[in-house]
Structure 1
Amino acid sequence: MSAALDYNSAESAWEDAATAAALLAIDPPGVGGVCLRSLPGPVRDRWVQIARELLPAETPWRRIPINISDSRLLGGLDLTATLRSGRPVVERGVLAEVDGGVAVLAMAERIAPATAGKLGAVLDNGEVRLERDGLAERMTSRFGVIALDEGAEEDERPVGPLRDRLGCHLDLNGIPVHVAGGCEYTADDVAAARDRLDQVHCSDELAEALCAGGLALGIGSLRAPLQALRAARAAAALAGRTEVTQEDVALATRLILVPRATRIPEMQQPEEEQPEEQQETQETEQQEQEEPPPPPEQEDDERPDEEDGGEQDEDDQGQDEDEDEEQAPAEIPAELVLDAARAVLPDNLLQQMKIRELAQRNRSQTPGRAGALQQGGGRGRPAGVRAGNPGGGARLNVVETLRTAAPWQPLRREHDQTGRRVIVRPEDFRVTRFKQRSQTTTIFAVDASGSSAMHRLSEAKGAVELLLAECYVRRDEVALVAFRGRGAEVLLPPTRSLTRAKKGLAGLPGGGGTPLAAGIDTARQLTGEVRRKGATPVLILLTDGRANVTREGLGGRDKAQQEATEAARAIRVMGIRALVVDTSPRPRPMGRELAEAMGADYLPLPRADASSISSAVQAVTGTGR
């Protein structure tokens, strides 16, 4: 099972998942929704079926396809009714129709950021604001979302703002089919809990515990504690209570806070108990050290007053201490939340979060999986419409053209003598815009010098072969540049042939000096050729960063290092996506400095085999499948 729900058993994981479906059915807008990470299959279908059956029969249930248009999502002009009646008629979108219900978002990991932004705005405002096609409408809509996340890799997830607005994060991958049974709750239980929800209260102590626990887990968003509070109230209502208990808080922690955790909370070490006699001895010694010297002797008649005053001061001090104890706030029981979180947090959370952070950072430029976006032309995925005339590869969008012309029909008919029902003018023409990903060519520049051959060349060969296989599966092209001795050569021009790539790796010799500048120059020239063909180049440089051969093939470490830095800066100027993998057994500053000059990600791997190098490169550059 994945790190999101790494529980002790699949049974407990499914039990929590079924309970999450019940909480969503009780309060869809309050819980926000469920981000359901699972590949298509009977387990996911069973969970969706349970969520549907627990909802009241009249609850709206709408599916949102990944390629939904803005007019269908938010609403717009009802073209047929408008042309028939001769006046603008508003058509309600899916988000307005699902008010009070649940919207199911298919393939949420591939949703466009613009669509996710519109969906998030409606979730935040509780209303659909329609301002298009000459219309201005506001329609109330509060609902929950089930985002079906079918991502196979770590970086294949819905965009962050959308995940942040969904309360429960579930992972059903790894749950056997025979475990995915039913749910202990029924639709009648959910209906009774809905009626009881307004009467449920949560103490300030437990509410503060959720906030403090979320902060201790590294959750920066305030939405998560609020969603956890609403989920805890729904859990109490489901159990037939009107007061939130620690059990409800623990459940909300597992479902909402733990999947968002970015760090493991530290365990509080209890203070070692000392024997009472030793404690009393230490207190006595401390009091003797802090006791001020006695005042000088004074007359007897003044002493009673001082003694009375001293007694009075001691009484006042005792009263002040009592008042301070009464006014001191009670300790927030954050340990209640943290104990529930520690029971389900994975041991390798920090490593997984680091890889996920790198993958998300590089997601906007996902090399290997898809190249740069190219807009225009008549191929690719539709990317909206624009005003323009058809021709030259541009296709007329008939529906959007009629939609643009519809509001003007009454005015145009008054000045038209032909009797036409629909009058379309050239300024109404709308053409469809398309966008497509260009092909990606991954260029591996491998250091085959004596130092690398002695240290890591065999592991580098194995890692490159694994990465080449991944590129072959995606039908991308790969190229191989090797540098050793006095220069560099292209062992493998851009190709899709995996067999040819393996032969190039098998014939990769090792030994000699490190002409690093020549290797980078050769890779840069190859990236230029790739760009001229319309593809997107990605450069992966595997080296220890210690150059000792100049461009002329002569020795001289200082000059060779300077030339390597200059060649790396040329890569940065060209804006090439690059990664420097430091293959030396003990990483030195030269590798990091080279990556900074190149504007590339730096990945030191002093102790790693071919598989770990391949996995790390895929996580950083997004070259996973």
Structure 2
Amino acid sequence: MSAAPDAIWGQACLAAALVALDPAGTGVVIRARPGPVREAWLAHLHALLGPDSPVTRLPAATTDDALLGGLDLPATLRTGRPVAQPGLLARGDGGVMVVPMAERLGPGTAARIAQALDTGAVEVARDGIAVRQPARFGLVLLDEGEGEDEALPACLADRAAIHLDLDPVPPGVLAATPPPPDLAAARAARPAVPEENPETLCALAARLGIASLRAPLLALRVARLHAALAGRDIVADPDLAAAFGLVLAPRARAWPQDAEEAPPAEPPPPEGDEAEPRTSDVTGEDRILAAAATSLPPGLLARLVAGEGPRTRSPGAGRSGATATARRGRPVGARPGDPRRGRLALIETLRAAAPWQRLRRGEGEARLRIAADDLRIRRLVQRRETTTIFAVDASGSAALERLAEVKGAVESLLAECYVRRDRVALVAFRGAGADLLLAPTRSLVRAKRALASLPGGGGTPLAAGIEAAGRLAAAERRGGRSPVVLLLTDGRANIARSGAPGRAQAASDALAAARTLAREGTRALVIDTAARPQEAARGLAAAMAARYLAMPQADAARLTKAVLRETAPPG
């Protein structure tokens, strides 16, 4: 039996209180899309932490200098000696660090954060400085991944005690947020732990197929915090059940079949002096399983029965959208090198030269002396992963030719995607609306299956097709990818956004949807599939700020070349 959305929100608020009680000792994974529910939970946690606990947000593509700290260049040049500057991890000491899109963290960044969590400090020894700064912080990992290749780094997911799934929570239950508990009294409490509790949690972890030794230790810590929050002097079954639901259950890879039903309640003992004590055959593990089963997130038991474990990414696993060093692209740091073989990194060069100025300068000399060993050049990475979204007009009598063209082009593009690590999606519009027939994928099997079932005929709801492609493009952009919309149509709409027939209103709605797509900055290509070039399609491309390509005859090879030109990185 699964918990209702209001019960899940109550459990999420309890988790926020536990994290605020001991940020560095807990940590949390939030599985939720961007929206009011996730923001409400973060605001609730911020309020519980109070003004004295810093909340640091880790920017995307953070460099080592920003994360760990390094040389304070202005102070070093001013004083003539190396001056250290703290990084994000050290500045977050005593608070929490929020990591958006944690599923896209690089393995190096994840390893450095994990090391800081283990040691409670950050060590920097480079550029003439050697410092160790305290960095005890709680970690809030925001998981927005959708596919198997978008999973949290295992080293961080394993170190976060609490795992929450807020996707089933509707915004309507946010009004039921409980009042903040007395955290000051809970911090002063020191509940005792019975000797059998660690053994019970280890046995539960083993029955759930959890291989991590860290999981039962974190569960025991959460159980003690829960007991302190409840004002108990000793950790009891309700505390173990709460720790089970927040720490162990989300990590489970299997569910004990003998725990699917709650154990029967024992009859009360007989009254009188001659009553003999009886030993129950219900173990502590079974009591905890039965108590926690009703508070599990929806679908967890079904997922475990199907053999699907938690979504994590091993340190050596590759991932979609991974970047590679290149001669052009986005800068991600600097390295020693010759500026004739790369772009000079001026600030990093000055940072490398600054600690040595006192030794290099003559008496009374104020010039800055830079040696060849000080020179640094930019490290660049290639463009982001591209998602090509086909929005196909599947209406009218010429649909079969268009669909055959798209099938050939998509299959050709998928072959390129295996090399370029890009993805392809398919939206078809006909009749009264638009359908997502193929979610973003690199799977050739899935693409062929979706294309084979693509129907044709009916009216032309052009506005609905453009809006569906725009929503998918926005979702891909939030996931860190670069979307490109390819609209295949003759531009002659006859179904309005409301679903009512009428060419005038349908054309107006289509132009409005095209302008919205242009305002969002989505790259697009309009492919006119009519027998003769149509002014309607040309006007649609102008409103969409897109390239226009007339292709009256089905030609998958030509379409593929046009798409590859459009999806090539700028410059």
Whether TM exceeds 0.5 here: the answer is yes
Counterpart residue identity of residue 225, structure 1: P
- What does residue range 350-369 of structure 1 map to in structure 2 within 5 Å? 350=304, 353-354=307-308, 364-366=317-319
| Alpha-carbon offset, residue 353 of structure 1 | 5.0
Provide the secondary structure at the position in 1 that maps to 2:233.
coil
Paired position in structure 2 for 1:412: 360
Paired position in structure 1 for 2:105: 111
1:224 partnered with 2:219: no
| Alpha-carbon offset, residue 364 of structure 1 | 4.2
| Alpha-carbon offset, residue 382 of structure 1 | 2.6
Provide the secondary structure at the position in 1 that maps to 2:193.
coil
Paired position in structure 2 for 1:94: 88
| Alpha-carbon offset, residue 183 of structure 1 | 3.8
Residue in structure 1 matching 2:59, options 65, 69, 91: 65
1:255 partnered with 2:246: yes
Task: Check the 8 A contact 1:36/1:170 in 2, yes or no.
Answer: yes
* Structure 2: stretches of 5+ with no match in the other structure: 262-278, 392-398, 425-441, 455-480, 484-571
1:83 partnered with 2:34: no
Return the alpha-carbon distance in structure 2 between the equivalents of residues 137 and 410 of structure 1: 21
Task: Check the 8 A contact 2:253/2:309 in 1, yes or no.
Answer: no
| Alpha-carbon offset, residue 269 of structure 1 | 10
Paired position in structure 2 for 1:473: 389
Task: Check the 8 A contact 2:122/2:132 in 1, yes or no.
Answer: yes
Return the alpha-carbon distance in structure 1 between the equivalents of residues 55 and 71 of structure 2: 23
Return the alpha-carbon distance in structure 2 between the equivalents of residues 143 and 113 of structure 1: 20
Paired position in structure 2 for 1:503: 404
1:232-252 per-residue CA deviation (whole Å, 9 max, x = no partner) reads 111111111121111111111
- What does residue range 188-267 of structure 1 map to in structure 2 within 5 Å? 189-196=182-189, 199-267=190-258
| Alpha-carbon offset, residue 402 of structure 1 | 1.0
Cα distance change of structure 1 residues 610 and 203 upon mapping to structure 2, 3 Å threshold: farther
Count of aligned residue pairs for this structure pair: 410
Counterpart residue identity of residue 433, structure 1: R
- What does residue range 532-551 of structure 1 map to in structure 2 within 5 Å? 535=420
Return the alpha-carbon distance in structure 1 between the equivalents of residues 384 and 37 of structure 2: 36
Counterpart residue identity of residue 407, structure 1: P
1:390-417 per-residue CA deviation (whole Å, 9 max, x = no partner) reads 245x2211111111111111111138x8
After superposition, the CA RMSD in angstroms is 4.1
| Alpha-carbon offset, residue 421 of structure 1 | 4.0
Return the alpha-carbon distance in structure 2 between the equivalents of residues 474 and 235 of structure 1: 51
1:376 partnered with 2:326: yes
Return the alpha-carbon distance in structure 1 between the equivalents of residues 173 and 218 of structure 2: 28
Paired position in structure 1 for 2:369: 423
Return the alpha-carbon distance in structure 1 between the equivalents of residues 198 and 346 of structure 2: 55
Percent identity between the aligned chains?
39
Cα distance change of structure 1 residues 114 and 425 upon mapping to structure 2, 3 Å threshold: same
* Structure 1: stretches of 5+ with no match in the other structure: 1-5, 271-327, 441-470, 476-497, 509-522, 540-577, 583-604, 612-622
Return the alpha-carbon distance in structure 2 between the equivalents of residues 398 and 246 of structure 1: 61
Task: Check the 8 A contact 2:154/2:315 in 1, yes or no.
Answer: no
Return the alpha-carbon distance in structure 2 between the equivalents of residues 175 and 185 of structure 1: 19
Paired position in structure 1 for 2:560: none
Cα distance change of structure 1 residues 269 and 336 upon mapping to structure 2, 3 Å threshold: closer
Return the alpha-carbon distance in structure 2 between the equivalents of residues 269 and 528 of structure 1: 44
Return the alpha-carbon distance in structure 1 between the equivalents of residues 414 and 9 of structure 2: 52
| Alpha-carbon offset, residue 214 of structure 1 | 1.0
Return the alpha-carbon distance in structure 1 between the equivalents of residues 402 and 58 of structure 2: 43
Return the alpha-carbon distance in structure 1 between the equivalents of residues 18 and 202 of structure 2: 20
- What does residue range 259-298 of structure 1 map to in structure 2 within 5 Å? 259-267=250-258
Provide the secondary structure at the position in 2 that maps to 1:221.
coil
| Alpha-carbon offset, residue 430 of structure 1 | 0.8
Residue in structure 2 matching 1:138, options 132, 136, 142: 132
Task: Check the 8 A contact 1:74/1:94 in 2, yes or no.
Answer: yes
Paired position in structure 1 for 2:6: 11
Task: Check the 8 A contact 2:252/2:309 in 1, yes or no.
Answer: no
Return the alpha-carbon distance in structure 1 between the equivalents of residues 327 and 313 of structure 2: 30
Provide the secondary structure at the position in 2 that maps to 1:385.
strand
1:580-621 per-residue CA deviation (whole Å, 9 max, x = no partner) reads 969xxxxxxxxxxxxxxxxxxxxxx9xxx979xxxxxxxxxx
| Alpha-carbon offset, residue 426 of structure 1 | 2.9
Task: Check the 8 A contact 2:56/2:92 in 1, yes or no.
Answer: yes
Runs of 4+ in 1 over 3 A off after TM superposition: 152-155, 340-343, 350-357, 359-366, 437-440, 498-501, 504-508, 526-531, 533-539, 578-582
Counterpart residue identity of residue 14, structure 1: W
Task: Check the 8 A contact 2:251/2:310 in 1, yes or no.
Answer: no
Task: Check the 8 A contact 2:33/2:144 in 1, yes or no.
Answer: yes
Return the alpha-carbon distance in structure 2 between the equivalents of residues 500 and 135 of structure 1: 67
Provide the secondary structure at the position in 2 that maps to 1:262.
coil
Task: Check the 8 A contact 2:252/2:304 in 1, yes or no.
Answer: no
| Alpha-carbon offset, residue 365 of structure 1 | 4.6
TM-score, normalising length: structure 1: 0.58
Cα distance change of structure 1 residues 154 and 10 upon mapping to structure 2, 3 Å threshold: farther
Provide the secondary structure at the position in 1 that maps to 2:29.
strand
Task: Check the 8 A contact 1:100/1:141 in 2, yes or no.
Answer: yes
| Alpha-carbon offset, residue 64 of structure 1 | 1.6
Q: Which has the higher helix share?
A: 1
Paired position in structure 2 for 1:338: 289
Paired position in structure 1 for 2:34: 40
| Alpha-carbon offset, residue 27 of structure 1 | 1.0
Provide the secondary structure at the position in 1 that maps to 2:339.
coil
Paired position in structure 2 for 1:181: 175
Return the alpha-carbon distance in structure 2 between the equivalents of residues 507 and 104 of structure 1: 44
| Alpha-carbon offset, residue 474 of structure 1 | 8.6
